[in-house]
Amino acid sequence: MRHRSLLERVRLLGRTAIDVVAGLGRASLFLVHALFSRGGVSGGFSLLVRQLYSVGVLSLAIIVVSGIFIGGVLSLQGFSILAKYGSEQAVGQMIALTLLRELGPVVTALLFAGRAGSALAAEIGNMKATEQLSSLEMIGVDPLKYIIAPRLWAGFISLPVLAAMFSVVGIWGGSWVAVDWLGVYEGSFWANMQNSVSFTEDVLNGVIKSVVFAFVVTWIAVYQGYDCDPTSEGISRATTRTVVYASLAVLGLDFILTALMFGDF
Amino acid sequence: MSAEQAYAVELKGVTFKRGARSIFENVDIRIPRGKVTGIMGPSGSGKTTLLRLMGAQLRPSAGEVWVNGQNLPRLSRSDLFDARKHMGVLFQSGALFTDLDVFENVAFPLRVHTDLPEEMIRDIVLMKLQAVGLRGAIELMPDELSGGMKRRVALARAIAMDPQILMYDEPFVGQDPIAMGMLVRLIRLLNDALGITSIVVSHDLAETASIADYLYVVGDGQVLGQGTPAELMASDNPRIRQFMKGQADGPVPFHFSAPALADDFLGKR
């Protein structure tokens, strides 16, 4: 490998920093233009409904199936640990808190990035490569309004709803394993859960997390698609980056949000 | 007639750079209104870039781009999209919307920009498709069409809103002789019947020269020459003569600039 002088390394570092800041600036302008610039497109609502279907409804299967499995696994693990302390009746409370506070928003966001985020990036990237975005521009239709905005809103709306469904299905899966299979008393399973879950502390904080994740994941996905090189490699890079950046952003933000919401300082 | 009325598009002192590389340097082009103007030049001479500058999809590094009396790079984003409603572009790939069938592709501009009733949209779409000979293909999806057919559907879409200016990016590439002849006649016919201004970017010399009222030859980031096809054919400029006569030898090199052949083969690079 070629040896780089110190000055060259400093210059490279500076170049990278400028590129990152410029990229963030472009991504922010892109978001502001798509969401807040004046003038809409006709039929905007039907465009949103179509995207809600492809981004939200089509992600439902993976979310529901994962929710059942994760709820079941939580139940099995929780039961085996809690049984050592004779408090297996508290398994309902443990499942509900884990799902509502953490796993619901986080796992849904990760699955959403893989299922819908990558599809959004690839679809938009392909539209760019085949000049469909250029052609929209020349027809006098702003692609940021016609293509990007409905996808952004669809992601913002779908992910929190999917996260809520994930938690509900997870709790149901957990109760099925704990109550019907492991023999935990049904009354104490649900009563413990009801007594320990607070609406503001647990449910609302979980919802806030999923709203933040929805915003970040969808923004990353559509921006990566819109900004990609219009080639096969460019689209492939955009989809990979979407999943990698979105997953890291979700996990990093989850740590920060958890520290702010539940941290003891 | 004022300059604004006489010319549909005017590029004044336009310079366009990609990074440090200059694609166009201080170029002046005036497209007369109501005429067919050809922009010709060898592959890689920046013809498509020129078309994108005229549609303000690219912003010049310096200079002005006037279209219908408006300096496009100075317009706000929403005004620019309004200005483009009067322009139609036929992209080289056709750029049809892959999730819509042929009918919906052609109907698209009408649906987003007008409140016309469905029957009228249907009539207009059928008329436009009839003009390009593809009325029978309304139910096909873009991936069921050949490259040439895609381009003809894209042409029907480009004329759906009856634009004032119609830009064609390499319209003759990949067309069979029958479609080619039809397309050549159609470009001329649309121009004369609808009174629009046509800009044809192409390197197909015979076809472009046969319909163009005026020609620009671009190369090396400059306008090498301009005039009627007959004037350019008779030009003394060796670069234009070489291009117009399709000669391999001349001042315009066939090879992309490269080191000496022997050095490459001997691995000196």
User: How many Å lie between the alpha carbon of A138 and the closest alpha carbon of chain B?
Assistant: 6
Q: Do A37 and B88 touch (CB under 8 A)?
A: no
- Please count the CA atoms within 13 angstroms of the CA of B219 that sit on its side-chain side: 20
* Distances B247 to A33, B160, B179, B240, B242 between C-alpha atoms, Å: 50, 40, 27, 10, 5
Q: Is A138 touching B (CB cutoff 8 A)?
A: yes
The closest alpha carbon to B37, from B135, B156, B168, B143, belongs to B168
Is some CB atom of chain B closer than 8 A to the CB atom of A42?
yes
The residues, ordered by sequence, that sit 6+ positions from B164 with a Cβ below 8 Å of its Cβ are: B8, B68, B86, B87, B196, B197
> Distance (Å, rounded) from C-alpha B190 to C-alpha B197?
9
Largest CA distance in chain A: 71
Q: Which of B55, B77, B112 has the CB atom closest to A138's CB atom?
A: B55
CB contact under 8 A, B81 and A42: no
> Considering chain B, what is the average pLDDT of its residues?
85
What's the mean pLDDT in B51-55? 89
Q: Is the pLDDT of residue B184 over 70?
A: yes
For residue A13, what pLDDT is reported? 93
Q: Tell me if A142 and B77 make a contact (CB, 8 A cut-off).
A: yes
Taking alpha carbons only, the member of B78, B27, B32 closest to residue B53 is B27
- Give B269's pLDDT tier (boundaries 50, 70, 90): low
Task: Work out the pLDDT band at A78, boundaries 50, 70, 90.
Answer: very high
Residues of B in contact with A122 (CB under 8 A): none
Q: Does the structure show a pLDDT above 70 at B254? A: no
Q: Which two tokens stand for residue B173?
A: 């590439």
For A214-240, how does the pLDDT look when each residue is reduced to its tens digit (9 = 90+)? 999 999 999 999 999 999 999 999 999
Q: A63 pLDDT exceeds 80?
A: yes
Which candidate in B67, B76, B77 is best for mutational testing of the A interface (most A CBs within 10 A)?
B77
Which pLDDT value is given to residue B248? 67
Q: In Å, what is the CA distance from A223 to each residue of A39, B97, B240, B260? A: 21, 20, 44, 44
Which residue in B112, B145, B150, B168 has the most chain A C-beta atoms within 10 A of its own C-beta, making it the best mutation to test that interface? B112
Q: What is the spatial distance between Cα B54 and Cα B73, in angstroms, rounded to a whole number?
A: 10
Which one, of B99, B152, B98, B104, lies nearest residue B130 by Cα?
B152
What is the reported pLDDT for B3?
Answer: 55
Strand-strand pairing, B222-227 and B87-90 = unpaired
Question: Chain-wide mean pLDDT for chain A?
Answer: 92
Q: Which of B108, B98, B11, B105 is nearest to B52 (CA)?
A: B11
Closest chain B residue to A143, measured at CA = B81
Residues of chain B above pLDDT 90, percent: 20
Concatenating the DSSP letter of every residue in A85-129 gives: TT-GGGHHHHHHHHIIIIIHHHHHHHHHIIIIIHHHHHHHHHHHH
pLDDT on residue A28: 92
Q: Which residues contact A110 (CB under 8 A, 6 or more apart)?
A: A247, A250
Distances (CA, A) of B58 to A38, A66, B15, B73: 22, 46, 11, 9
Structure tokens at A125: 């990237």
In degrees, to the nearest 5, what angle opens at C-alpha B95 toward C-alphas B93 and B99? 135
Average pLDDT over residues B177-195: 85
Subunit contact A132:B78, Cβ cutoff 8 A: no
Q: How far apart are CA A111 and CA A100, in angstroms?
A: 16
* Distant-in-sequence, close-in-space partners of A169: CB < 8 Å, separation ≥ 6: A63, A64, A67, A68, A71
Q: Name chain B contacts of A37, Cβ cutoff 8 Å.
A: 77-78
Contact B113 A134 (CB under 8 A): no
Mean pLDDT of A39-61: 86
Which pLDDT tens digit goes with each residue over B22-35? 888 888 999 998 88
pTM above 0.90, yes or no: no
Q: Does A36 touch chain B (CB under 8 A)?
A: no
Q: Which two tokens stand for residue A245?
A: 């950046």
* Partner-chain residue, chosen from B83, B95, B157, that has the shortest CB–CB distance to A131: B95
A130 touches chain B (CB under 8 A): yes
Bigger pLDDT: B192 vs B234: B192
Nearest CA in chain B to A41: B112
- Tell me if B157 sits within 8 A of B105, measured CB to CB: yes
